[in-house]
Amino acid sequence: MAQDLEKIKEIRKRLSEAPKYDANLKPVYDIAGIQKLLPHRPPFLMVDRILEIEEDSIVGIKTIGVNEWYFQGHFPTEPVVPGVLLIEAMAQVGGILVLRGVDEPEKYSTYFAKVNNFKFRQKVVPGDVVVFKLVITEPLNHSIVSMSGKAWVGDNVVCEGDMVAQVIKNKE
């Protein structure tokens, strides 16, 4: 029990500060590199760049353009990124972290198994650059991996939560 509390404290500490986005730095993965790891394609590819990657954490960004497809209906006079799409973007960033550790990542996909404790703290609107940071809380074991993540616009947390994913080999 005490070990679990220490682990939770460590993860919260690692997720407490907003990663700094510097547009001048070369990304670890650009769109082409991301598309080698993820099966998603526009308009459902929701990650623009991966800025940092370590063994158990990752930082990625999504720049929100005024012409995003979902703004046609959500909401035409006051566009807001749907929360479920922020969760999806976060999951895609996490998927890159998980899949880069798998042999032949192009042969695998990650699927949601569970989302928990998501909180939305601020609207995300056109022009925002959303910075996502995820930390693996339970490493890949029997095709299941758990992560915690936060998303920021500037220094403000816009959403946060936990997710569990299953890594499955694609059908040939």
40 is an active site residue: no
Six token digits for residue 112:
């949601």
Instruction: Say what the pLDDT of residue 1 is.
Output: 67
Does residue 117 come out as left (phi exceeding 0), alpha (psi in the -120 to 50 range) or beta?
left
How crowded is residue 172: how many other Cβ atoms within 10 Å of its Cβ? 4
Q: Please give the domain boundaries of the chain with CATH numbers for all domains.
A: 2-169 (3.10.129.10)
Q: List the chain pLDDT tens, one digit each, 172 residues.
A: 667 778 878 888 889 889 988 999 999 999 999 999 999 999 999 999 999 999 999 999 999 999 999 999 999 999 999 999 999 999 999 999 999 989 999 899 999 999 999 999 999 999 999 999 999 999 999 999 999 999 999 999 999 999 999 999 998 7
Strand partners, 52: 59
Six token digits for residue 82:
């749907």
Six token digits for residue 67:
């012409």
Helix (H, G, I), strand (E, B) or coil at 93: helix
CB-count burial class (<10 Å; 0-12, 13-18, 19+) for 6: exposed
CB 167 within 8 Å of CB 104: no
Active site residue: 14, 40, 74, 100, which one?
74
Measured in whole angstroms, the distance separating CA 121 from the mean position of its chain's CA atoms is: 16
DSSP label of 18: P
